[in-house]
Every structure is written in structure tokens, then in C-alpha cells.
Amino acid sequence: MNPILHVMVIGFDHKKGSQIDFCYPPLVETVEPKAEDIPPEWENLPTLAIPDLAHTVLEDVIYFLLPSRESPNRSVFGISCYRQINANDLISKDDQVTRSHVQKSVCVVMRIPLYGFLKAKLELITHAYFNERDFSKVGVLHQMYNNLCDLFNTDFTDLQSATIGISLSSLVSIFRHRILILFKLLLLEKRVMFEIFPVNILGDVMMGLISLFPALLEEGLFEAASYSVRRFCSPSNLACEESHDNNDVRENELFQLNNHDSKISPDDIRIKIQDAVEVGQDIAATTSGDSSSNHNNPSSFNTNEYGFPLSIFTKGSLFHPYLSINQLDLIRSDNTRAYCIGVTNAIFKQRREFIDVIVSINEQKEGQIEILNPELRQQLSLSTQDLSLGRKRRMGAKPVPCLSYIPVSSCEIWYGRKNFRIQRTVYNCIEDEAQLSCMVIARPFWICTSYSCVCEFVL
């Protein structure tokens, strides 16, 4: 199957809100679907493509996840490039143009997370589409879809392309040594909310963070959009659904027990454990036809010999680089045990009983981590070993003050003799402070142990 699903144009109507103006290949018979034509799994797509507070910026880029229409508890991925244009600059106007500015997004929905790879391409296409000054001319969008299908054909299996274009500059320059705290938060699988605006910085920070985990961005987000405890079976295998009805009830009870703290007797605990064993045996029986390698794999993903990707975003632990206000109920759902989400609407912060940690940026462009759960403060406090990572070079060399941030503008390239000493000084500084300061130049390599994380940036 081709990884590119659809190319869409999302527009904003001041009466109807965000809506799909164009879709290719069409969701239904026409390329201009109505609201009732949108599949229920993607009903929030328009509000994700044009985020909250979008009217305050001229352009933005949004990363988001959607439930798959083909498989339950699976994810598809979307990237949207938003722009607004003065209505007086348009050559052709329709009846929907009633305000001084027109807001639209060009969106690509795909089966694999090619966010960084498609970002630059989508921005160029969006600029070309807006430069037509006539939104009825969609030839450039047809051409983009065909080009992407040719580039990523049905035999495309190189998931390493997902890491292309993912920059760490925003993450490192904003949070610096606090990255270790964010790293621990993901390992603990808590309820974490990132409130950062504009959305392109929000997406860069969150994508940069999960890219620190080996193979997580490429292969570990396929169950991160939503989760339903109930199993779904194909119409040709209705006997499967009947045989698992009782198991679904028991699995749901176990999920509720795990998701809510309550005082129960030891006898109740023994009953629940026995139920869990029976459910596990039933699941193993239904998958007896799988390869023997999958039987020994505790992860729901195809892991490598080192056990990566980690099963962080699975079984009710969600990841959404952007979540619209229409999806507020998602964080309150009984099926959601943990999440890492990005938001721009302040209403989310009012639901503090459903949040463990709020990550934001202050007026000085510095990262802030507000821990609402008192039990987490001790777990997230940086130990002496953690702090020593910021002062040691290459696992035990001489201490250096590596937390001083080097801006990108200072790393200019000079040729000839002019400013040679300045260039040499900057290069030496980057070499000494490679752990956190080199940003775009380095790619992180993480070694995870039971209680601590050791990082080394390999140049």
C-alpha cells in the first residue's frame, strides 16, 4: 500500500468553522466532501489542520495523528501547512469569502510519520498554491500527490526516512538540561501536556523529544492516536467476536482497575490476577499462528535485537503533537491511562485534575516544567549522576561548562584567513560542549538503564 493517503485543503468559514474544501483522492465521489461525508474517525481533522489562535500568525506548520480507518487502535499521520492571505489579493472569490482575510491549510495524510521529510516540500507547495490567488486552481495539489506517490511507492519500507528533517534545535535551546526531566516523563508514562505557541515550535519540540528514543518516531507511534479496549474482528470472522465477548468484559475490568486507584481486598486481587491469566491465555490461543519470534516479544511492535522501540505509546498511552479543543474528552476518557499532548487552547489547563505535568515556555523563551502531581517531584528530580552529564565530556573526560548555549548565528562559516581565530574558537567550543550545545550538528544516542539515563551526542 502506498504510504500517502490523501492531499487536502482545509478552509475556515466564520459560520461553519473549519471544513474540508478539497480532497484528493476523494473520500467520496466528489473532491469537495460535505461535513456528513467525513468518516467518524476523522471528524476532528479540520480543527487539527487549522489550530486554535491560528488567526494571530501568518503561517504555521502542524503535526497531528488520527485513528486509522482501516485497522482498530492504529494510527495515521497528518501534516498541515497553514497560511492566511488578504481577501483583496485574490483574483477569484467565492461566496465563502466574507472577511478581510482567508485562512486555509494544505494537508497531507499518510500511513507513516514522514513529518520532517514532507515539511519543506509542503511549505513550498502551499506557497505556490496561495500565489495562484485562486483557490479553485488545484492542479499543483494533484501534481504533489502524484509526485509523492512516485517517490514513496507501494514497495516503500524505509521507515528511517521518518527522522529526516527532525531538528533538535528548538528542544535543546529552550529546555537545555531539562531535557532529562522530559525524557524521564515519557519513560514514566504520565499525563503530560505541552502548551506552546506557535504550533510549529510545539511540534518541533515534541518530535525532537521522542526522536531521542531509538526507533520510537519511526515505528513506535502506530498505536498512539487512540485506544479502545474492545477488540474488533473482520466481518468474515464473526466467530472471533463471539468467542471474545467474555474476555472483553474481563479485560475492560482489568483496565479500569489499573486506571483508577481503589482499595480492594486480597481476594479481589487474586480474582483479578486469575482473570488476567485467562485473558492472556485466550489471546495467545488466537495468535498461535504467528511466528515463534513474536511469542517471545513483549512489545506490540516489531522490535530489534535491543528491544527498540520501547512500548511507550500503546495500550491507552497516547501521543498527539497537537490536540484541538474538540478532543478535550480524549484526556478524560477511561480508555486513556497516559498521554503526551500538545495544545494551544488555555481551556485544557483548567482540567488540572487530569494532568500530571504542564510544559510551557515563559516570556524569556525558557522552558518551564510545572509538576502538578506531588509524587512525581521526587521521581523527576535530577540526581548527581544526571547533573554530571552536563559537566562531563564523552563519559568521563574533563569537566566543561556545557550548559552555556551557543546560538546558531555564531557558528557561521568563514573562508580564507579572515576571522580564522574566531572560527577556531567557535569550533573548539562546539567540540567541548557537544553534549547539549551543538544542536543541529549532533544526533543523540541514548542508553537506558532501569533507573537512570545516560546520553552521549555522537558527532
Domains of the chain as residue ranges with CATH: 4-165 (3.30.450.200), 235-295 (no CATH), 384-458 (no CATH)
Predicted local confidence at residue 368, as pLDDT: 94
Predicted local confidence at residue 268, as pLDDT: 56
d(CA 394, CA 398): 9
Is the torsion defined by CA of 35, 36, 39, 43 positive or negative?
Answer: positive
Predicted local confidence at residue 177, as pLDDT: 85
Q: How far is CA 279 from CA 63, 183, 247, 358, in A?
A: 36, 33, 6, 36
d(CA 402, CA 414): 24
Q: Among 234-248, 274-288, 440-454, which stretch is predicted with the lowest mean pLDDT?
A: 440-454
Angle, helices 266-286/245-259, rounded to nearest 10 degrees: 130
Q: How far is CA 363 from CA 28, 197, 289, 366, 371, in A?
A: 46, 12, 57, 7, 19
Is the model more confident about 13 or about 455?
Answer: 13
d(CA 388, CA 48): 40
* pLDDT greater than 80 at residue 425: no
Predicted local confidence at residue 93, as pLDDT: 79
Burial (Cβ within 10 Å: 0-12, 13-18, ≥19) of residue 393: middle
Predicted local confidence at residue 207, as pLDDT: 94
Mean residue pLDDT across the chain: 75
Nearest to 308 by CA among 452, 448, 157: 448
Q: How confident is the model at residue 267 (pLDDT cuts 50, 70, 90)?
A: low
Contact 122, 148 (CB under 8 A): no
* pLDDT greater than 70 at residue 405: no
Predicted local confidence at residue 400, as pLDDT: 37
* pLDDT greater than 80 at residue 260: no
d(CA 329, CA 16): 21
Q: 223: which residues sit within 8 A by CB, 6+ positions away?
A: 73, 74, 75, 300, 313, 314, 315
Q: Angle 362-380-63 (CA atoms, 0-180°, nearest 5)?
A: 55
* Mean pLDDT, residues 61-70: 93
Distance of CA 293 to the CA centre of its chain: 29
Q: What is the tens place of the pLDDT at every residue in 148-203? A: 988 887 666 667 777 888 889 899 999 988 999 999 999 999 999 999 999 999 99
90-110 burial string, b = 16+ CB within 10 Å, else e? Answer: beeeeebeeeeebbbbbbbbb
* pLDDT greater than 60 at residue 450: no
Q: What is the tens place of the pLDDT at every residue in 359-400? A: 999 988 899 999 998 889 888 887 777 777 655 443 434 433
Q: What is the tens place of the pLDDT at every residue in 287-319? A: 444 444 444 444 466 777 778 889 999 989 999
149: part of which helix (H) or strand (E)? helix 139-151
Q: Among 34-43, 57-66, 183-192, 420-429, which stretch is predicted with the lowest mean pLDDT?
A: 420-429
169: part of which helix (H) or strand (E)? helix 169-175
* pLDDT greater than 50 at residue 232: no
Q: What is the tens place of the pLDDT at every residue in 137-149? A: 999 999 999 999 8
Predicted local confidence at residue 7, as pLDDT: 95
Alpha helices in 300-353 (DSSP H): 329-332
Alpha helices in 225-297 (DSSP H): 238-243, 245-259, 266-286, 292-295
Alpha helices in 296-383 (DSSP H): 329-332, 374-380
Is the model more confident about 281 or about 343?
Answer: 343
Predicted local confidence at residue 323, as pLDDT: 94
